[in-house]
Amino acid sequence: MTLAPAEQAITPRTLLQDLRKTHSQAKLASLLEVSSKTVARWEAGETECPPYLRAALEDIKKQQTEATVPASTDAPTFRFADLFAGIGGIRLAFESIGGECVFSSEWNKFSQQTYARNFGHDLPGFVDGLHKEANGHVFAGDITKVEAGDIPDHDVLLAGFPCQPFSIAGVSKKNSLGREHGFADATQGTLFFDVARIIEKKQPRAFMLENVKNLLSHDKGRTFKVIKETLEDELGYSIAYKIVNGASYVPQGRQRIIIVGFQDASVFEGKDAFSFDNLALQRNADGTSKLVNPTMASILHPEDGSEEAEEPFTVGSLATVNEKYILTPNLWAYLKNYASKHRAAGNGFGYGLVGPESVARTLSARYHKDGSEILVSRGVGERPRRLTPRECARLMGFPESYEIPVSDTQAYRQFGNSVVVPAVTAVAEEMQRFLL
């Protein structure tokens, strides 16, 4: 059957772009049984939207037209900015609850590559300044060089900001020097200052900030005191914070402080108020608790043929872990001697050996150096191995569809610096009640 000229003009990509007015990328990905990044590439024209999807897209359009509920209910429910984006762990969490990312900032060129690959951004190589994409999304490199006014309006600001040491001068010294009080002085020169100045300018309804748990105790608590006073007293937000352990969601002890803020103080009032305690009450669709406390068996390669080989991580018909991840004799001897020396001195330093029933130590950005904090046992008398980058992705809760386009060294750094995605998703779901 030959299509009429008018029908020929309506390509699968045209249908997709039309549906994106009312459907999020995540929703369309679910309906088409592909990944969100694939939908993003089709929408941007980076890859061709397959002709065979025309019928499926037309069917989605038809169902939308016939639905009794207005189609706009499936549109993104809020817009968010992703600062210090890394490889997008926080973004994954907030997209999963219906958010649309309108701004991303990441300074590391290798993280930019991974981020762009997985979220369908068409970046012109390394981005240092601002790059506005065809779909309106803005990507930035170094956030310290970005004017807050150039950032698109957004409802929620997200930031896993690095914590640089604060230098807090006394009020009397500030007065003698003629310096201002408030965050413009106390946090100048730190990356938190960039978070604060953007919040001040853009006035998002809410924010979520993530950092290492030691932020609470840094400089005898004075660092966090400045942050809290800045957010509450200077910027006028009501906040709640808690140290959340990723071990409830992935087989890794990983404690991070999460700070949630809302302009509306009533969010934290009443019996239905926002509370981190509600994370323990969250249930899956089948009624089971989302707190699963898994072991390493859930993320290790089974090496029995039950998963397809993913070179260079696993090879052969059984998808066996590549031999390159096995420690060399010299490195294994060094780590054993290092551990013995510290045990004799009464210290706890040494390597961390894990098996299927273990829970790992915290994965760090230095994992690429020797892998000592998490070594996978290969049996008595056998040299252990490092985790593969795919196992690291699983250990941080990234989906299997997440692509790893960089070297092992960069991948280890990226996952070691990332967030536990399901832990942040749990926080996002608790926030979602107040974002609709």
> Does residue 163 carry a catalytic annotation?
yes
CB 290 within 8 A of CB 284: yes
Pairing assessment for the beta strands 238-245 and 255-262 based on DSSP bridges: antiparallel
How many C-beta atoms lie closer than 10 Å to residue 278's C-beta?
Answer: 15
Backbone CA torsion sign across 10, 16, 17, 18: positive
- Residue tagged active-site, from 49, 101, 163, 392: 163
Q: Where are the alpha helices (DSSP H) in 67-152?
A: 89-95, 109-119
219 CB-near residues (< 8 Å, 6+ apart): 165, 166, 168
Of 432, 373, 426, the closest CA to residue 245 belongs to 426
Orientation angle between helical segments 36-44 and 109-119, nearest 10 degrees: 90
Rg of the chain on CA atoms, in Å: 24
d(CA 402, CA 419): 14
Task: Please give the positions annotated as active site.
Answer: 163
